[in-house]
Amino acid sequence: MKSRFFLASALLLAGCQITNTVEEQANTTNKKEESPVQTPAVSTQKDTTKPVITEQVIVITPQEQDDVWQRITMQLAADIPENKQVKYYRNWYLRYPGHLKTVAERAEPFLYYITEEIEKRNLPLELALLPIVESSFDQFAYSHGRAAGLWQIIPDTGRRFGLEQNWWYDGRRDVVESTQAALDLLEYLNRKFDGDWLHALAAYNTGEGRVFRAIRKNRAAGKPTDFWSLDLPKETSGYVPKLLAVADVIKNQKKYGITIPSIANKPVVELVKPGTQMDLAMAANYAGIKLKDLQSLNPAYNHWATSPDGPNHLLLPIDKVDRFNRQFTSNGRQGMKVVRYRVKSGDTLSVLAQKYKTTTKQIQRANNMTGSSIRVGRHILIPVAMQDGDSISAQLATRTQKSHGSGYRTTYEVKSGDSLWTIARSQKVSIDQITKWNGFSKNKPLRVGKKLTLWKDSQSGAVIRTVYYKVRSGDNLSAIAQRYKVKVSDVVKWNQIKGQKYLKPGQKLKLYVDVTKVSV
């Protein structure tokens, strides 16, 4: 159902391999009986009894290409209008070619899978490029509107399309599950808008209700109701042109003089289902890969293990699946490490759960407990991380930061009596880091009032993303901090709010949000 948005005829390349066959042309109508022995004779007439061999023409189908980008571009059929918005975004991508190179690196493990799933549903291949517009293929992307993952799905929509979100797991960041949910949503919207993909895409960005209202408003005023004629929010008005622009650039790389790193047109990851809760560090050991690489492929898990109630599937490099299965089986299908703990005075299940980075329910499950009471001196079993797995995920936070530092950026104002040594000590960073982040030598004197940029490490387990929040009427610091699971004092510090009692509608706040804490 590629409908109005796409030129269906351009997608005929998706058929089987085409070859011309050898045809034998013979005149059988007036065929004469041949004698057993014939004497060759010279004749100027054309011998129609001989086969005519035509030249073979082999057409490589999209699925047979070496590069998955080429597989996609052969099936791109959208009509690219030459309007101001499309030109603006096309020029942006051409001005910053490094962006698409970064996108290609992030997309490498996932693009083949996404392309396969779109083809299975006979959907437009332009949709395979939607994560470029939504998240730049950052699997930990998080927006001010609380949208998460490659497909930037908001909490309510995620639940509506079957994506679980709890302390352990956020299905909006699960590449497999979120892809299915996003495609389900896009198919639903396409049906709602009678096959108009531009309307469907606009609704994916801003909601179907808003697009329907814009259509009704134009219809009542006797105006056209195509996407380009609708009065939509600024972000949505630029959303569809941005997708068309990136499709045009990727399809015509040679024309525009850019090169996007190729991605092999073959599966590179495979889904495994251990059937039990898995410690991520243990799973990485079984597979023979680094923990950070496992977490990068499985960004949905908020903590050190998969969800106890499922899902507990894992994406693994395809060449590591056999090793994982062998190791998992030879170790008795063990997925977790459990310690025997003697209860001390003052212990409660919630205190122990916090100490060992797990949940009360998980401890209850390990001990077949229905209540929450525990007795001093008794032993209980506590599932624990094989190693401090959460701390590894903090390393992933640096990929979209425009700095030499990690974690989040803060500012320190030099006071009278300060020196590099005292600042480094009080801020828990090194002198070398301060000079590197601020671009001056150790010998340069500090000036009172000078503002220094410092990068602070995030807490263990954090995956930090920068969110720019636009203050709305009725907002206050406490409500904003609670919504994004941050401290009021941090919001004040990050935005250098001094003696300001009230926030102003329209004011922009910079927040450093731990995406593993905002799933519920």
Identity of the amino acid at 227: F
Other CB atoms within a 10 A radius of the CB of residue 427 amount to 15
Cis peptide before 40 (omega within 30 of 0): no
Buried b / exposed e across 476-499, counting CB within 10 Å, b at 16+?
ebeebbeebebeeebbeebbeeee
6 closest CA partner among 159, 100, 122, 163:
122
Q: Which two tokens stand for residue 406?
A: 């990690």
Q: Which of the 8 DSSP states describes residue 8? A: G
Backbone angles phi, psi at 301, to 5 degrees: -85, 120
Among 177, 157, 179, 161, CA closest to 169: 177
The residues that are catalytic are 134
- Note whether 67 and 263 are within 8 A (CB): yes
Main-chain phi, psi angles of 453, to 5 degrees = -90, 125
- Rounded CA gap, 279 and 276, in Å? 10
CA angle at 255 for the pair 251 and 257, rounded to the nearest 5°: 105
